[in-house]
Amino acid sequence: MADTNKMNPTAKRPWRMFAPLAAVIVLFGLWSVYWHWANSAVQTHVTGERAQLEAQGFSLACASESWGGYPFRFEFTCTNPAIKFPGGQTVRSHALLAVAQAYNPMHIIALIDGPSEVTLPGNEAHVLTHGRAVISVVAQGDGAAQISAEIPDFNGAGVFTASNIQAHARPAAENANDVAVTVEGAAYTAPGKPPLAVDRAQLLGTLTANGELTIGDLQFNRNGLKLWGKGMVELDAQHRIEGQIDAQTNDLGQLLAVLDPHMEMPEQDRATLKAVLGLLGKEARAGLVARDGEFYIGPLKVGELLPLY
């Protein structure tokens, strides 16, 4: 009778069957050691960063917080987060989850569940409802970061609403960031006024550390009506918009019809404005000027500007 061991060479070397499994176990063990070491290092780094930010007036408080994500992620969970800013502003939300892949801890995804509440110094709290907000932060070696954010179904206390908001920022020149903002299905409702709605608004510009925003491209679209322009704006000491935008529209008549309920000016000035702009043709150009809390189209004042906060 033939020797079965001679006919089946693998029978003498059964370790070959278990070698792949053993390799997986060893690799998983090494990965586990790395994860626990890296997770501890991340927690230490975050604790240090929070301490430095608190010294600058920023703070994050949680009703409860925890770390997890084993084996492939680092996760930080914060319930009822409250973020305080140096100016005394406070933002509270329902929950915060920050996630980073274990192999790339410099890229952080933060998920924020609403509703959120914003409290300004000396003012009552304002409730902001929204879907799950997603914020992406890619840290760079020089301390800068690329930041992207998306907020769906936003409702700012009934004053400003939007079906979707996207914002992006990346380092540009020294002490400046390139910014891009896209808002879809937006409407602004002032007290006693009809909603001022747009289908889509887009802004591309550069924001400096002192708060000056240079706008390279600003666009508004509403039912075929287009308004676009470029310029520079900033906030004055009372947090009101100040600056000038050189604007152009493809349909002046429709634009004036949209703005008419919102123009706070005497009838005579209103008629003068329409007559002057009418001379420019359907595709008109005009300077939009914000100065000392007042808003002008060309030389004529059309309304007052309230502080943004």
10 Å CB burial of residue 47 (0-12, 13-18, 19+) is exposed
Whether the predicted pLDDT of 2 surpasses 80: no
Question: What is the per-residue pLDDT for 306?
Answer: 80
Whether the predicted pLDDT of 186 surpasses 50: yes
Residues 6+ away with beta carbon under 8 Å from 225: 249, 250, 251, 254, 255, 258
Question: What is the per-residue pLDDT for 270?
Answer: 72
CA distance 218 to 206: 12
Answer yes or no: are the C-beta atoms of 119 and 127 closer than 8 Å. no
- Binned at pLDDT 50, 70 and 90, residue 127 comes out as very high
Q: What percent of the chain has pLDDT over 70?
A: 93
CA distance 305 to 243: 12
What does the block give as tokens for 111? 């998920």
Question: What is the per-residue pLDDT for 3?
Answer: 53
Question: What is the per-residue pLDDT for 165?
Answer: 98
| Least confident window among 14-23, 107-116, 171-180, 244-253 | 14-23
Single out the residue of 112, 105, 135 nearest to residue 43, CA to CA.
105
Residues 6+ away with beta carbon under 8 Å from 93: 80, 81, 112, 113, 114, 115, 116, 117
> DSSP secondary-structure letter at 307?
-
Run of H or E residues at 99: strand 95-101
Whether the predicted pLDDT of 1 surpasses 50: no
